[in-house]
Chain A
Amino acid sequence: MPEALNLVDDARPAQREAALELLDFLETQAPFPGPARIGLTGPPGAGKSTLLDALVRALRQRGRSVAIVAVDPSSQRSGGALLGDRARVRSARADPGVFIRSMAARSRLGGLADATHASVTILAAVFDCVFIETVGVGQSEAEVARVADSVAYVAQPGAGDVLQYMKAGVLELPDVFVVNKSDRPDASQTAAELATGLSLSEPGAGGWTPPVLLASARAGTGIDAVEAELERHYRHILESGELDARRRRAREAFVIEALTRRYGSFGLDRVGGPDAVAERLREAGQSSFALVGELSRRIERALAAPAAPR
């Protein structure tokens, strides 16, 4: 499996072909709904990794295997990156039931790496639960919502932060809010402000009201509730049909992004633009990966062909 993850990150043409083939197989053969894909985001220092560590330990105690894709930003100047989350998720240790792949966001400012969708597809074929962890930098909530079934936002206690969240539109996307470090005196206050802030925004699709939970990853309190709420959300969207819709939107977003990155929106328009992609994915039987391959070839032909005479 580590080799498969290397493959889907490989930019060389032959490897890219092989990767698309493997991913196509996985996406078309994977049973629905498969394992939950949980996004975990929040500002630096909120304790995402520590919370993740506690969640993973709880899941492991019940015998569930866990995979984590941890994305860290790249230096825009050197292109390098320090991928540090492994250090915090201590439960991975030498346990074969826990898998972590750290990824650099590279040229993507929004927080997720290009290979995230592909990596999650691979890991979901093997593990009982897949987490996608990324630093919350405003944009990344939206990006993580595009690959995850459920998004948990980890906040830390702090007066006034909630207003900033609201301004940044952070409250719109997450399905579960966790105020970590609940042993701090201002934690309940922050949770109350968050709940108020949420009550002011539009109710989410399918009648889900995001819960605001208090937890202390360090003391190990509130972790079970976080896990239970994530599971409740997963069941909720599964039953309402929202899960299916989210997965489809994730595939759409992946195809559109993959093509736009390579050929620009000019290239994408040659094959009908985003709407055509959505249309094609609604037709059963073809994976997002096969579609990227097919549309890439069509775009390349269209771009190579001489302009039609007017």
Chain B
Amino acid sequence: MQVNSLGLTEAQPENNAIRIAYEALGVTLSRRARCRSLQLPAWNEALGLPRPFDQQWALRTQQILALESDLLEYGDLFDGSSVVAQKVDELLSGAREELEKVLAMGGAVPAVENAYMKQRLVESNTARVRAIESGERIVVGLNAYTEAEPSPLDEGGRSILRVDESAEREQIERLRAFRAERNPKEVEAARRALADAIANGQNAMPPSIRAAHAGLSTGEWADVLRERFGEYRAPTGVSAQPVRVSSESAERVRARVQDLGRTLGRPLKILIGKPGLDGHSNGAEQVAVKARDVGMEVVYEGIRLTPEEIAKSARDEGVHVIGLSILSGSHGVLVLDVLHHLRADRAAEIPVVVGGIIPEEDARKLVAAGVRRVYTPKDYDLARIMSEIVDVVAETATAA
């Protein structure tokens, strides 16, 4: 069981330590429903990547729970509790109802393919985000009790792991050296044998093993498969029906989007892109849904795009603005790469805004490189972000 980091906040991040401890208790308290294994997130994951110290702290949290309490010595504490029994009934009937729906679609695989599962995930997070925006759901330090003493834990944005930029270069060099030592004829023969096997519908495992022995890299191996089968793109889940409830602030932004559309000659079109390998799409999805709900035309392509693909999409689609979402910590390289490709594609005039887990110091660097706005987890008010995106497009249109 991995206690999720969705609830972690960038605002007053020290509170996350408490949240994590309570969540750990929640998934271990009942003996019969206890998770089999537990991995807690670190307190600073909304700020950036955790350092060994932060991971140690998360590990100690669960060690204290396991070894300093007597939780593990008893049967199920909830046996006989009518409140819990009722909760369990609700969960069961809800789960059964959901299973019926999925079965009616033909099972889990069709429910993935027709985007049902992903759509439900996006919808439920949309409801959560909206409740936080409206204040209906309280997140301490974020939308309530926001006043705070200066934190000694926050060492000027340095309380996260910094990945040395040379790591990537060294890895590429290692790979290059490895490839140079292979027997090119053997590699080519292995590659062809694999391609032939999959083209003829034969077992791909034996030629894959031979290819590995010949030194075909994972990337090269996958390329052979990609050439034959294409690449799976999961449904993005954000094509669901628009929301019925709407806030006053969203209505105001919608009016501005419409006005700007008249000035621009066509409706404001935005590309939401997720460059790089991180699969954390929650933020991008919510921004895409909100942009649609305030009247923008949204191109959203899902996760794992290259900077080159994003620049091409932006130009081909004729968008007015690009929103990039990055939670992997690689924003430095990826964003600069997107900007570089935009210039190469003669689309440098398209403004770029960035959202993600981005330390302040990095945010300043991105702005210096030409990024128009940077948003981090403490910017939970999506209507305000939309309004600022309208500002950015309007500024760009006037400057042109």
Report the minimal beta-carbon distance from A55 to chain B, rounded to whole angstroms: 11
Alpha-carbon gap, A79 to B289, bound state (A): 13
Residues of chain B lying within 8 A (CB to CB) of residue A6: 266, 318
Instruction: Please tell me if B276 contacts chain A, counting CB pairs below 8 Å.
Output: no
Instruction: Please tell me if B229 contacts chain A, counting CB pairs below 8 Å.
Output: yes
Residues of chain B lying within 8 A (CB to CB) of residue A117: none
Alpha-carbon gap, A54 to B297, bound state (A): 26
Instruction: Please tell me if B329 contacts chain A, counting CB pairs below 8 Å.
Output: no
- A32-53 contacts to B (CB < 8 Å): 45, 53
Closest residue of B by beta carbon distance from A7: B265
> What total count of A-B pairs have CB within 8 Å?
109
Please encode chain A, from 92 to 109, with 1 for each CB lying within 8 Å of some chain B CB and 0 for all others. 111010011110101000
Residues of chain B lying within 8 A (CB to CB) of residue A54: 230
Instruction: Please tell me if A80 contacts chain B, counting CB pairs below 8 Å.
Output: yes
- Segment at the interface with B among A9-17, A251-259, A286-294: A9-17
Alpha-carbon gap, A116 to B74, bound state (A): 69
Alpha-carbon gap, A76 to B300, bound state (A): 19
Residues of chain B lying within 8 A (CB to CB) of residue A10: 265-266
Category for how many chain B residues contact A: 35 or more
Residues of chain A lying within 8 A (CB to CB) of residue B239: 72, 82, 84
- Segment at the interface with A among B125-133, B307-315, B372-380: B307-315
Q: Are B294 and A80 in contact (CB under 8 A)?
A: yes
Closest residue of A by beta carbon distance from B266: A9
Please encode chain B, from 289 to 322, with 1 for each CB lying within 8 Å of some chain A CB and 0 for all others. 1011111111111100010110011011110000
Residues of chain A lying within 8 A (CB to CB) of residue B295: 78-80
Q: Are A104 and B297 in contact (CB under 8 A)?
A: yes
Please encode chain A, from 225 to 244, with 1 for each CB lying within 8 Å of some chain B CB and 0 for all others. 00000000000000000000
Q: Are A82 and B298 in contact (CB under 8 A)?
A: yes
Residues of chain B lying within 8 A (CB to CB) of residue A91: 230
- A231-286 contacts to B (CB < 8 Å): none
Instruction: Please tell me if B236 contacts chain A, counting CB pairs below 8 Å.
Output: yes
Alpha-carbon gap, A54 to B229, bound state (A): 9
Instruction: Please tell me if A220 contacts chain B, counting CB pairs below 8 Å.
Output: yes
Instruction: Please tell me if A59 contacts chain B, counting CB pairs below 8 Å.
Output: no
Category for how many chain A residues contact B: 35 or more
Instruction: Please tell me if A196 contacts chain B, counting CB pairs below 8 Å.
Output: no
Closest residue of A by beta carbon distance from B265: A10
Q: Are A87 and B267 in contact (CB under 8 A)?
A: no
Alpha-carbon gap, A257 to B258, bound state (A): 24
Contact residues of A: prevailing secondary structure: mixed
Q: Are B297 and A87 in contact (CB under 8 A)?
A: no
Closest residue of B by beta carbon distance from A83: B299
Report the minimal beta-carbon distance from B269 to chain A, rounded to whole angstroms: 8
Residues of chain A lying within 8 A (CB to CB) of residue B113: 45
Report the minimal beta-carbon distance from A195 to chain B, rounded to whole angstroms: 23
Taking Cβ atoms with an 8 Å cutoff, the residues of B that contact A are 113-115, 228-231, 233, 235-236, 238-239, 242, 254, 257-258, 262, 265-267, 288-289, 291-302, 306, 308-309, 312-313, 315-318
28 A-B pairs with C-beta separation under 8 A: A9-B265, A10-B266, A45-B114, A74-B297, A78-B242, A78-B294, A80-B267, A80-B291, A80-B295, A82-B238, A82-B239, A82-B298, A83-B298, A84-B236, A84-B300, A86-B313, A86-B317, A87-B235, A87-B302, A92-B312, A94-B308, A96-B312, A99-B316, A100-B313, A100-B317, A101-B317, A102-B299, A106-B267
Which 6 pairs show the lowest CB-CB distances between chains A and B?
A10-B265, A80-B292, A12-B265, A79-B295, A6-B318, A75-B242
Taking Cβ atoms with an 8 Å cutoff, the residues of A that contact B are 2-3, 5-6, 9-12, 15, 45, 53-54, 57, 72, 74-75, 77-84, 86-88, 90-94, 96, 99-102, 104, 106, 220
